[in-house]
Structure 1
Amino acid sequence: MCQESRSFIAPFANCSVIDTTMKFYPADTPTFLEFDKIITLLKKECYGEPAQLYFDNIEILTRPNPIRKLLDQTAELKKTIEDSEPIPIYAYQSIKHKVKLLRKEGYVLSIEGIQAIHNVIKMGLSIDYYFRDFKRQRTYLQLYEICGAIDIDSGLSSEIDRILDDEGNVRPDASIELSQISKRINKKERELDSTFKQVADRAKKSGYLADTVESLRNGRRVLTVSAEHKRKIGGVIHDESATGKTVFLEPIEVQMINNEIVNLYADRRKEIYKILSLLCMHLRPYADALVEVENVVTQLDIIHAKARLAILLDADKPEIVGKASFGYRAAYNPVLYIKNKKLGVPTIPFDLDLHPPNRILVLSGPNAGGKSVTLKTAGILQLMVQSGMLIPCDPNSKIGIFDSIYTDIGDQQSMEDDLSTYSSRLKNMKYFLENANEKSLILIDEFGSGTDPNVGGAIAESILRQLNFNKTNGVITTHYSNLKYFAFKTKGILNGSMEFDTQSIRPTYHLIVGKPGNSFAYEIAEKTGLDPRVIKYAKTKTGKNEKAIDELLIELQEEKKSLESRISVMEDKESKVDRLMKNYNELHKELEFRRKKIKLNAKEQSLFTISQENKELDAVIKQLKEANDLDKAKVIAKTFKTKREKVRGEIHRLKDEVYYQDKFDPTTLKEGDYVKMRTGDSIGNILSIRKNKAEVQMGIMTMSVPLKELIPAKEPISMNDSRRIIMDIPQRERFERKLDVRGYTRSDTLHAVQEFMDRALLTNENSLTIVHGVGSGVLRKAVLVKLKEYPDIIEVSHPEEQYGGLGVTYISL
């Protein structure tokens, strides 16, 4: 008998191999987890049989993206209901078989079949109209994507409406011929009424009729005539009563009229068949579109059922993570929630978040404390999520994806295979050990039970050890102390317990992760009223050690949890301190860079001022030479030269500190490396290296750059080498931040300013000076015209008169 199933297909025994659906062992695992009850609820919410059939054969997916898509669809449809703008879907029948018949040339569908198709067409058109609202298209993006497949001609609905009325009857005016036949029928029926009434009145006055004047036999109106008078009225007898006292006679006066009416109705049926035949011929080319509309309607019906269930459960969409893991927050069992809701009893939520490297929860505690419910909840919620259903949990829950679920729940004694309960459980364990992996979810209830506790506990511990070695995920319930202790000392396994109120001797049904539980067997026995002598004797048999071990384990677990929590806090603090130190060092480095950059700019400005003063000095020296005071002229010239050289030296030193701190050896660069200039942000690729220069491709430009000016960089997102501009970039110290165009023509000035600005941008300069003189203002205007072409310029200004006034232009980038 097949025990393995890869998808939830009633009756859970399907063994088809579908890589994208979940694998189960045993095959009826979904039933053990009560997933069949969820399916029943969903089927009740369906409008049509196709959606119900889907849930009978629902697939449990194992890939994150398709699961996320299904969840998004359900969440969107839930929102349409909550926002009071539901998608227009209602009861429908499957039309696929009818469309299959319609495809046959000459086949004429019944009126019921056409009505079913019409219903689906109208629903498709309503859905299409619903999503013509642009706001809905954006709000319900996933649903709009589904409904985009609807492509149906609205004329089909109009044509069917022209032929059939709301009751499904062919309209009398569906064709000209039918309209004429209908009129003739109406006329003849009026004639029949008049003639029949006259005959009936005469017969009644003569006392020939029974109490009931007329009846209907073989589709014809007849008189109810007393048997003794049947020969007194001319006509045809169609029937007589059971007693023989009454005959049903068609008067001879109306026979011809009835015959004509019968013939007219026959003509009417032929015309209706012809009309329906033409209608089917009109529908036939749209067969594929009709099937597609039903597919969309069915898909929306499925999603709608999930959304209705989500509202019933107050469910939400969790976050899906790719790896297999637990991350439930404020979750509860959906079946239990519905049951408690009817009884007015609250359902206790639980958090099940096993932080890595923990993968297995060993759950202990008193009987009837909620262990099995918690175990089943973990399984049923997983099935719901992986089939695209919203689940009752906090939306911040992070749910992992499993490829398989293996369960060992309840009494699995097999009479057919001659296996005891324990033998059957060992058979399950053998399968788990051979097949479970890091993508599997193991759910084992009352682990190790069914045999001698000492032996059963030892075997269970060995199995648990191997499952943990296989990196399997799972929830396991037990009462065995050795398993609790093994979980305490083993990495990857965590203890958990169901809280128990020792004052009231009642379970609270709260899950506590990280703390083993006590069975509280004696306390429960005392509460049930068991004879104290029996309890006392039992305590003497177990001794103090059993309870002491449990209490010690609980204390150790609490201490371990507290220590782990403190370590986690310390690690978090240490991480924050490291980040703060890193940020501080980076900020300090940035501030130091800016400070030196400001100082560098000031020195360069100072050098410019000295250059301005140097012109005045040249005039003074010239005057001194003319006055033959050469010694004084030499002293003045030497003083200014020394001052200028000193400033230049400081500028060179600051440049080295600002741009050459990294001690990078440029000789290590090679062809193909990605680099950027020390004074810029653009990234390029080294095409070739010759001596101390590299040819670098930067975007559409190819530049020759000194190696000293380059530092390594990461590869940019994209490079475009369709065009090249060749440039030779000299060393940065050779770039002067001042351009003097006095004496240039306007054309030469425009060209010089463009080259000057381009080089400044490549070297990341931010403060420039152009000297053009006052003159007639032609060169100043030419400079300003060219500067307007550069959007990176922040400000253009002129210095005070003593520093050049309108003859000098300052540029800030």
Structure 2
Amino acid sequence: MIYPQNFEQKTGFDKIRQLISEKCLSPLGVERVGEMNFSSEFDIVSVRLNQTEEFVRIIHGDIEFPANYFYDVRYSLKRIRPEGTWLDEKEVFDLKRSLQTINEIVRFFKPTTEGEVLYPALTELAGDVLVFPQLIKQIDAILDKFGKVKDNASPELAQLRKEMTTTMNGISRSLQSILRAAQSEGIVDKDVAPTMRDGRLMIPVAPAFKRKIKGIVHDESASGKTVFIEPDVVVEANNRIRELEGEERREIIRILTTFTDMLRPLIPDILQSYEFLADIDFIRAKALFAGQIQGIRPVMENMQQLDWGQAVHPLLYLSHQRQGKKVIPLDITLTAQKRLLIISGPNAGGKSVCLKTVGLLQYMLQCGLLIPLHESSKTGIFNRIFIDIGDEQSIENDLSTYSSHLTNMKYFVKHCDAKTIILIDEFGSGTEPQIGGAIAEALLDRFNRNQSYGVITTHYQNLKHFAEETEGIVNGAMLYDRHHMQPLFQLSIGNPGSSFAIEIARKIGLPEEVITDASEKVGVDYVNMDKYLQDIVRDKRYWEGKRQNIRQQEKKLEDVTSRYEQDLETVNKQRKEIIREAKAEAQRILSEANAQIETTIRDIKKVQAEKEQTKLARKALDDFKASVLNADEEDAKIARKMAKIKERNERKKQTQKGISNQQTFNRDVIEIGDFVRLKGQTSVGTVMEIQGKQLLVAFGMIKSNVKLEQLEKVSKGQIKRESPKSTFVSSQTVDEMHEKKINFKQEIDVRGMRGDEALQAVTYFVDDAIQVGAGRIRILHGTGTGILRQLIRDYLRSVPGIRQYHDEHIQFGGAGITVVELE
């Protein structure tokens, strides 16, 4: 079910139909394009997609597809149903060629000689189609290769044409004889030849000589300078030609009537075969269009879901392609847990395009068209697609824009269910904002209760808050570049967007006093809300990138640690082997020592303790002792090495396990000064104030009021553990750092920025400078009132890694530039 009736016009599908129609070869396919409809039957949609995908493969294959003669002869076949009617030569010729095409297509889809079916869906479509080879042979017996009735189509026709040829030759000879005589007498010019006028051969003559040739004057030229005379001698022959032509025409009609009488009983079967030809023409056009928009057959499951990557609006793609521009693709996900997506962001930021892309691609998919997505995308199927977009104001029905929106909403609430996808642009707009927002929130609640899916765009803050607090609904934002004041046309799911009304008004040149008055009327908190929100989104993207880098480094660190542990295990095995061998060697040494001592004692006793012999024995014993001591020193060296290895291993284990002797940490109690972070996030902030269940938390330079239940307490140990400490850096990272260092600019210009924006930019700049190892950087902040200069220097004073900072030399900018010396 599709709502409203002009759904195709609102989504642009009517233009898709037109583009596909232009690729059809005949009215057969064009009719099918007009009949193309939305289906919620999974099997039907799957078959349609399979057929189109297979034809895309045919187009890119090596074997040429037979697509020469897609003629629509259905009107002619229906016209000859009454007895006595017949097909003319052209109709019979078109019938023959189109039947040949059908025959060739059916043969194209037959299994190969090995029994392999290359195109299952199309082969099944062609399975029951009738072909008429005998009929084609009969037509070949009647018509020649140019579509004219052959001379031998019947004996009578052959005799008539033979007599016509003989008579025409006789006329030609007679005329040539008369013409040569007239030329010799100077009646006609030398280059004149017989001319055919009204089916009769004649001689062109100047009006002054028309009495010189006996015959009938039939005609004259437009200028009056030539008359055409039929000589008396050929009048009878020309009359005979006329009679023969009439007989020939009657014989041809008889032949065609006889053929038509034979054809008439086959008309129902032939028309059925032309339905197949229409299907093939239609599928071929869909495949060609898929190639034009880079469409694919995505994974489709019989469930309600959207998991799209790099989705592109096909009409926008074609338009940008003609202009040489690129379309920014859309990534969007709707699941059973997050069914309703509330998209907010600035005007002209791409919200409506996002919504139309979802509606158009889902509708195209369920009409059997391939759609432009990334091949990893997953699609589902819906029973109903409802859309409310654009101005539906109606004078005839006395409906305002808002009334028409409410009429649509009434229909949506009544008919939506878990298999419905709802697309609403500028939800709740068109009336007084407060009541409009309240009604929109109530309707959104009903949609959510009915388990419906949907994409809804809005500017209302209450809908953003409702989405944040309600299960089944998720916020999304169309991103915006605040520094360049231009939309990025990228969808970010998870956070609401900002309308940037103040910034856009300032960009287009609205007087500053007007902007100031407006800001005062709504209050500074309301104005800052959008700014803080965008800052959080921007910081989230920045820290997400940092976190990704940390994850990569942690993975590399784990690999290095694993290798280190394996090496350590090998060393331990070697140590045990060395100790075993050392013990065996010590045992051997002790045995030898005892034997040496006993030998020495015997020698001394034997020589009765002669001094020289005693000295020699003692020297031999001392030498042996020295060798034993040297062995002990080697063992000591090994022991010291093993101790060092063990000590390093223990330090590594302590680093991985964290500091175990920390002070007792109570996670459930949050006090001023504690470290906290948003649940599910990584950025850590400090609690500044506690007001009931509202906490003022400083995330870097940004302070924000956050509900207590949205926070979790973080210990110092966790912060240390989550900080990257690895010194193991891959070659890829080194190359990236080298590239970043080469491209790093040692100067930043923050003039004209507001204080918080300038501080944020300087923070990122200083981080990058420290990362690439820059020794000296410059910050251009201007002089002005000096407030921006003071804010930046207060920040620099708190950053470790900065040796000193000072004004630039007076010749190069003086107090308008701060020079920072890094350690």
TM-score band (shorter)? 0.5 to 0.7
The counterpart of 1:181, out of the listed 152, 157, 160, is 160
Asked if the contact 1:209–1:223 (Cα under 8 Å) also holds between the matched residues in 2, the reply is: no
Give the C-alpha shift of residue 341 in structure 1: 1.4
What SS does the corresponding residue of 2:152 show, helix, strand or coil? coil
Q: For each residue in 1:620-669, what CA deviation from the matched residue of structure 2 results, as whole angstroms up to 9, or x when unmatched?
A: xxxxxxxxxxxxxxxxxxxxxxxxxxxxxxxxxxxxxxxxxxxxxxxxxx
What SS does the corresponding residue of 1:322 show, helix, strand or coil? coil
Give the C-alpha shift of residue 446 in structure 1: 0.9
Q: Which amino acid aligns with 1:33?
A: T
Distance in 1, Cα, partners of 2:506 & 2:534: 23
What SS does the corresponding residue of 2:153 show, helix, strand or coil? coil
1:434-583 aligned within 5 A: 434-550=414-530
2:23 aligned residue: 45
Q: Which amino acid aligns with 1:238?
A: H
* Structure 1 pair 240–349 and aligned structure 2 pair: CA distance change class (3 A): closer
Give the C-alpha shift of residue 526 in structure 1: 2.8
Q: For each residue in 1:287-338, what CA deviation from the matched residue of structure 2 results, as whole angstroms up to 9, or x when unmatched?
A: 2332122111111111111111111111111222223332222211111111
Q: For each residue in 1:391-416, what CA deviation from the matched residue of structure 2 results, as whole angstroms up to 9, or x when unmatched?
A: 00123322222222222211111111
2:5 paired with 1:31: no
Q: For each residue in 1:731-765, what CA deviation from the matched residue of structure 2 results, as whole angstroms up to 9, or x when unmatched?
A: xxxxxxxxxxxxxxxxxxxxxxxxxxxxxxxxxxx
1:383-398 aligned within 5 A: 383-398=363-378
Asked if the contact 1:122–1:157 (Cα under 8 Å) also holds between the matched residues in 2, the reply is: yes
2:344 paired with 1:364: yes
2:52 aligned residue: 74
1:668 aligned residue: none
The counterpart of 2:288, out of the listed 269, 285, 308, is 308
2:77 paired with 1:99: yes
Calculate the aligned-residue CA RMSD, in Å. Answer: 2.7
Give the C-alpha shift of residue 99 in structure 1: 1.9
Please, which moves more after superposition, 300-309 or 460-469?
A: 460-469
Give the C-alpha shift of residue 246 in structure 1: 4.7
1:116 aligned residue: 94
2:145 paired with 1:166: yes
Please, which moves more after superposition, 125-134 or 354-363?
A: 125-134
* Structure 1 pair 439–355 and aligned structure 2 pair: CA distance change class (3 A): closer
Distance in 2, Cα, partners of 1:223 & 1:116: 39
Give the C-alpha shift of residue 37 in structure 1: 1.2
Distance in 2, Cα, partners of 1:307 & 1:249: 62
Aligned length: 542
What SS does the corresponding residue of 2:417 show, helix, strand or coil? coil
Asked if the contact 2:306–2:379 (Cα under 8 Å) also holds between the matched residues in 1, the reply is: yes
Structure 2 runs not aligned, ≥5 long = 548-823
Give the C-alpha shift of residue 137 in structure 1: 5.3
1:344 aligned residue: 324
Distance in 1, Cα, partners of 2:440 & 2:539: 26
Q: Which amino acid aligns with 2:375?
A: P
Distance in 2, Cα, partners of 1:550 & 1:229: 102
1:603 aligned residue: none
2:179 paired with 1:200: yes
Please, which moves more after superposition, 59-68 or 104-113?
A: 104-113
Structure 1 runs not aligned, ≥5 long = 1-21, 567-813
2:391 aligned residue: 411
Give the C-alpha shift of residue 370 in structure 1: 0.8
Distance in 2, Cα, partners of 1:94 & 1:121: 11
Distance in 1, Cα, partners of 2:433 & 2:69: 57
Distance in 2, Cα, partners of 1:375 & 1:244: 74
Give the C-alpha shift of residue 86 in structure 1: 4.4
Q: Which amino acid aligns with 1:371?
A: K
1:379 aligned residue: 359
Q: For each residue in 1:755-787, what CA deviation from the matched residue of structure 2 results, as whole angstroms up to 9, or x when unmatched?
A: xxxxxxxxxxxxxxxxxxxxxxxxxxxxxxxxx
The counterpart of 2:132, out of the listed 153, 165, 187, is 153
1:679 aligned residue: none
2:257 paired with 1:277: yes
* Structure 1 pair 466–258 and aligned structure 2 pair: CA distance change class (3 A): same
2:56 paired with 1:56: no
1:227-266 aligned within 5 A: 227-241=207-221, 246-266=226-246
What SS does the corresponding residue of 1:396 show, helix, strand or coil? coil
Q: Which amino acid aligns with 1:439?
A: K
Distance in 2, Cα, partners of 1:139 & 1:241: 66
What SS does the corresponding residue of 1:494 show, helix, strand or coil? strand
* Structure 1 pair 277–136 and aligned structure 2 pair: CA distance change class (3 A): farther
What SS does the corresponding residue of 2:467 show, helix, strand or coil? helix
Q: For each residue in 1:675-702, what CA deviation from the matched residue of structure 2 results, as whole angstroms up to 9, or x when unmatched?
A: xxxxxxxxxxxxxxxxxxxxxxxxxxxx
Q: For each residue in 1:132-167, what CA deviation from the matched residue of structure 2 results, as whole angstroms up to 9, or x when unmatched?
A: 451795220111111112222323223222322233
Give the C-alpha shift of residue 433 in structure 1: 1.8
Distance in 2, Cα, partners of 1:418 & 1:275: 66
Q: For each residue in 1:237-282, what CA deviation from the matched residue of structure 2 results, as whole angstroms up to 9, or x when unmatched?
A: 2234567665432111111211222222222212212222232234
Give the C-alpha shift of residue 45 in structure 1: 0.9
Distance in 2, Cα, partners of 1:428 & 1:512: 28
**TM-score where L is the length of structure 1:** 0.63
* Structure 1 pair 328–245 and aligned structure 2 pair: CA distance change class (3 A): closer
* Structure 1 pair 159–350 and aligned structure 2 pair: CA distance change class (3 A): same
What SS does the corresponding residue of 2:150 show, helix, strand or coil? coil
The counterpart of 2:334, out of the listed 339, 354, 372, is 354
Q: Which amino acid aligns with 1:189?
A: M
1:191 aligned residue: 170
Q: Which amino acid aligns with 1:161?
A: D
Distance in 2, Cα, partners of 1:421 & 1:76: 45
Give the C-alpha shift of residue 384 in structure 1: 0.4
What SS does the corresponding residue of 1:72 show, helix, strand or coil? helix
Distance in 2, Cα, partners of 1:559 & 1:491: 25
Distance in 2, Cα, partners of 1:174 & 1:324: 64
1:335 aligned residue: 315
Give the C-alpha shift of residue 553 in structure 1: 6.7
Please, which moves more after superposition, 479-488 or 107-116?
A: 107-116
Distance in 2, Cα, partners of 1:524 & 1:270: 82
1:126 aligned residue: 104
Q: Which amino acid aligns with 2:165?
A: N
Distance in 1, Cα, partners of 2:291 & 2:441: 42
What SS does the corresponding residue of 1:138 show, helix, strand or coil? coil
Distance in 1, Cα, partners of 2:516 & 2:223: 91
Asked if the contact 1:409–1:444 (Cα under 8 Å) also holds between the matched residues in 2, the reply is: yes
Distance in 2, Cα, partners of 1:169 & 1:549: 82
Give the C-alpha shift of residue 360 in structure 1: 1.0
Q: Which amino acid aligns with 1:373?
A: V
Distance in 2, Cα, partners of 1:344 & 1:363: 29
**TM-score where L is the length of structure 2:** 0.62
Q: Which amino acid aligns with 1:37?
A: K
1:297 aligned residue: 277
Distance in 1, Cα, partners of 2:106 & 2:443: 57
Asked if the contact 1:67–1:388 (Cα under 8 Å) also holds between the matched residues in 2, the reply is: yes
Give the C-alpha shift of residue 525 in structure 1: 2.6
* Structure 1 pair 243–68 and aligned structure 2 pair: CA distance change class (3 A): closer
Asked if the contact 2:167–2:241 (Cα under 8 Å) also holds between the matched residues in 1, the reply is: yes
Distance in 2, Cα, partners of 1:161 & 1:209: 47
2:123 paired with 1:144: yes
2:299 paired with 1:319: yes
Q: Which amino acid aligns with 1:527?
A: K
What SS does the corresponding residue of 2:338 show, helix, strand or coil? coil
* Structure 1 pair 136–89 and aligned structure 2 pair: CA distance change class (3 A): farther
Distance in 2, Cα, partners of 1:221 & 1:212: 13
What SS does the corresponding residue of 1:94 show, helix, strand or coil? coil
* Structure 1 pair 91–459 and aligned structure 2 pair: CA distance change class (3 A): farther
Asked if the contact 1:137–1:144 (Cα under 8 Å) also holds between the matched residues in 2, the reply is: no
* Structure 1 pair 454–81 and aligned structure 2 pair: CA distance change class (3 A): same
Q: Which amino acid aligns with 1:402?
A: F
Q: Which amino acid aligns with 1:182?
A: R
What SS does the corresponding residue of 1:359 show, helix, strand or coil? strand
